[in-house]
Structure 1
Amino acid sequence: MTPVQTAVRTSVGPPPTDGRMRGVSWVGSDSVSSLDLEPLTQAGVTWIAQTPFGWQPGAAVPEVQLHTGSGNRHYWGESDQGLLLTAARAQQRGIRTLLKPHLWLRGEGGTWPGDVKMTSDADWQAWFASYSTFILHYAEVAETGHLDGFCIGTELAQTVSHEAEWRHLIGQIRRVYHGPLTYAANWSGEFEQVKFWDALDFIGVQAYFPLSKIDQPTKATLLAAWQPPLRRLEALHKQYRKPIVFTEVGYKTTPDAAIEPWVWPDRLAVLTPPDEATQAACYAALFETFWPRPWFKGLFVWKWYPGLQPDGPARRHLDFTPQHKPAEQVMAQWFLKGK
C-alpha cells in the first residue's frame, strides 16, 4: 500500500434516529474546504460517497490498474491523500464516508463495468487476482481513515456469477477493513443475481430504473411506475433479511430524465433549456415511494460538485446534480425528517 496520511477521527455526532444514510456522491476535485461542506449540512446530508477509479485496458483484459496519486488524469480528490483529507473534514461536520471504488474501461470491448467479461478460466483467475489487489488497497485506505462504510465493487454484472471468488474476496476484505460492507449492483437485474448478499451488511443498488416512456411525466405516473421495482426490492430484502440502500440514484435536469435515467445529458447542448420541474418530480416520487419503508436504509444522490455556484457552468445545469434547483429542496425536506 502506498503510504497515506492517517485521518484522525474527530467527534462525530450521533446518526439520525432512523439510521438512514442521507447521502450524496461527492465529486473529487483539486481541494476541499469547510465552505464546500457547509451546503451539505444545510441540506441534511449525513453521508458522502467518495469514488476513486481503477483502469482496465479492455473488457476482456485481466488487468486492473491502480492509480493512487493525483497525476494529470486524476483529481487530487481521488488520490489516497485527497480521499482521507476529505473524509476527515467531513467527519468534523458529522458527515460519514462510504468509500466506493469504480472501474473505468479503456479500449475495445465496452465502456461500462458491466461489460467486464473474461474469455477463459485462467483469465478469470487473473482478473480476480488483479481486482483483489485494487480493492484491497482501498480497503486499507478505508481502515486507515476510519471510514464508515466500504463498497467492494460497482456494477460488475458479469462477474457476480463467480460466487466463490467474491466470497473469498469478501473474507480478505474483512480481515483488512472492519466496518460495514456492501456491493453496488445495477438496477437492470444484477441486484437479483448476486448470491453473496448474506456475506455483506447491506444490499446496494444503483437505482436508475426507467420510469417513463415520455417526456415530463407527472408525479402520479412516476409513483405508479415505481411499484414493480418496489415489489422486487422488497422481495430481495425478505429473502436476505438485509437493509437496502440506493448506492446511486439521480436524474438529469431534462424533460426525458425518467426515460433512461442512467444516460448522461448531451454535454454539447449547453443552450438547451433545463427542466427543473421534471427533475424535482422524479425526486418527489423517489422519496415518497421508499422513505416510509422500514427496510430502506437510505440513498446516495448522483451527484454533488463541491463549490458549485448558482451561476456555474451551463452543462452542470442539465447535469444530474440537484444543487441550486428545486430537486435540492425536495431532497433536503426528506433528509431533514427524523434527524
Structure 2
Amino acid sequence: MRFLFGLVLLSIFGCSMKPVDSQKINGVSFVASGIAIDSSHTKPVASIHANYAAIMPFGFIQDLEHPELFFNSQRQWFGETRAGVKQYIESLRKQNIKIMLKPQIWVSHGAYTGHIDMESEVDWQAFENTYSRFILEFAELAEELQVELFCIGTELDYFIKNRPEYWHNLIETIKEVYKGKLTYAANWDEFKRTPFWNDIDYIGIDAYFPLSDLQTPTIEDCKNGWQIHKPIINKYADSLNKPVLFTEFGYRSVDYTAKEPWKSDRSMTEVNLSAQANATQALFETFWEEPWFSGGFVWKWFHNHDDIGGETNNQFTPQNKPVESIIKSHYQLHN
C-alpha cells in the first residue's frame, strides 16, 4: 500500500521536480593572468574542495555605445585568449575540477555592462555581429573540450531588454555548436526580467543582493536580510521549473560589505575580515541545503595563491583570509 501511494505521489509531482544536479557546484571564479598555469596554481583550488572553476575570457569595448568588441588578441593577457583558456581548462582538469566557460565584456574605465545601449539600428547590428563572433568562438572551444557548462553572457540588462529576439536566436545558434548545459549570469536586480530562461538550463544570478546596513553584520543579520530575497528567488525558480545557480557570489573584506555588495568603490578602504566571513557564512547557511539551488562560484580567485589576499586586503578575494576556511568547510561538506 505504501509502495502504491509512493507511485501516486511520483505521478503527481515527479514531472514538476527540477533537474538539479545531485552534487552542488562548489565553484571559484578563476581570474585570468599573463602566464600559463600549472599545478602550483591549481592545487590551492582543489585544496578548498572546489569542484568547478569559472574561466573568464574578456572582450573589450571602448564605451557603452561602441559597436565593436575586441577579443582573442595578442594585446590581452594569455589567460583571456583562446589558447590561454584552453591551457587553463586542461590544467584545472588535472585536479578533477569541472569548468564553466564564461566569456565576459569589459567596458573601458569599468562602466557597467548592463548599460550597454547602441544609438542606432546599424550600431546594434554591428554590435550583435561582433558579440556573436565572441561568444561562438568560445562556444566552439567549449564543445571541443567538452566543457560542462557555458555562460552565454554576464550582466547585459539593456542589451537583452532592447534586443530579445537576437538573444533567442543566439541561444539556438549556440546549441548548434555546443551540446552541454547553458546559463546566463543576470545581475541580482535583473534576473526577473530575463526573457529566455526557458531556453537554457540554469537561472544564473550574480548574487550581490543587499542584506544589511551594519558596519559589521552578524551571520544572523545577513540571514535575516536574505529573507527578503530568498522567497522571491525560490518562487521564481518554481514558476519556471529551473534550478538556480549563483554565477557569482562574494563579499569584500570591508566595512558595510553586505549593504551594497556589488560596490568596488576605492573609497571603501577599512579592512573588515569579520564582515566578509559573516556574510559568506550566512549565504551558505541560507542556500546550500536547498534542493532547488545548484551552487555557485565565489568571486574571485587568483592564480598566485600564496601572494594574494591576506589580512590587510580589502578586496573580494577570499584567499589567505578567515573566509577561505569557511568556504573550504562548506565545499567539503557538500562535495
Give the TM-score taking structure 1 as reference length: 0.87
Residue 64 of structure 2 corresponds to residue 56 of structure 1: no
3-state SS of paired residue (2:231) = helix
- The residue number in structure 1 matching 2:214 is 214
Q: Deviations over 1:46-89 (max 9, x none)?
A: 00001111111221222222x21442xx2211111111111111
Equivalenced residue count is 314
Q: How has the CA–CA distance of structure 1 residues 52 and 316 changed in structure 2, closer, same or farther, with 3 Å as cutoff?
A: farther
3-state SS of paired residue (1:60) = coil
Tell me if the contact between 1:70 and 1:78 (Cα under 8 Å) persists in the aligned partners.
no
- The residue number in structure 2 matching 1:21 is 25
> How many angstroms does 1:229 deviate by?
1.2
Q: Letter of the aligned partner of 1:306 in structure 2?
A: H
Q: Which runs of 4+ in 1 moved over 6 A?
A: 313-316
Structure-to-structure mapping, 1:1-339, within 5 angstroms: 18-29=22-33, 30-65=35-70, 67-71=71-75, 74-106=76-108, 111-161=111-161, 162-188=163-189, 190-264=190-264, 266=266, 269=269, 272=270, 274-309=271-306, 312=308, 317-339=313-335
3-state SS of paired residue (1:246) = strand
Q: Letter of the aligned partner of 2:216 in structure 1?
A: Q
Unaligned runs of 5+ in 2: 1-19
Q: Deviations over 1:75-126 (max 9, x none)?
A: 211111111111111112110111111111137xx81111101223333233
> How many angstroms does 1:313 deviate by?
6.4
Q: How has the CA–CA distance of structure 1 residues 123 and 315 changed in structure 2, closer, same or farther, with 3 Å as cutoff?
A: farther
CA distance in 1, matches of 2:279, 2:220: 10
3-state SS of paired residue (1:159) = helix
Tell me if the contact between 2:309 and 2:317 (Cα under 8 Å) persists in the aligned partners.
no
CA distance in 2, matches of 1:268, 1:210: 16
Choose between structure 1 and 2: higher helix proportion: 2
Tell me if the contact between 1:48 and 1:97 (Cα under 8 Å) persists in the aligned partners.
yes
Q: Letter of the aligned partner of 1:124 in structure 2?
A: W
Q: Letter of the aligned partner of 1:293 in structure 2?
A: E
CA distance in 2, matches of 1:287, 1:199: 28
Tell me if the contact between 2:53 and 2:100 (Cα under 8 Å) persists in the aligned partners.
yes
Tell me if the contact between 1:206 and 1:246 (Cα under 8 Å) persists in the aligned partners.
yes
Q: Letter of the aligned partner of 1:91 in structure 2?
A: R
What's the RMSD between the two structures over aligned residues?
A: 2.0
CA distance in 2, matches of 1:42, 1:61: 42
Q: Letter of the aligned partner of 1:297 in structure 2?
A: S
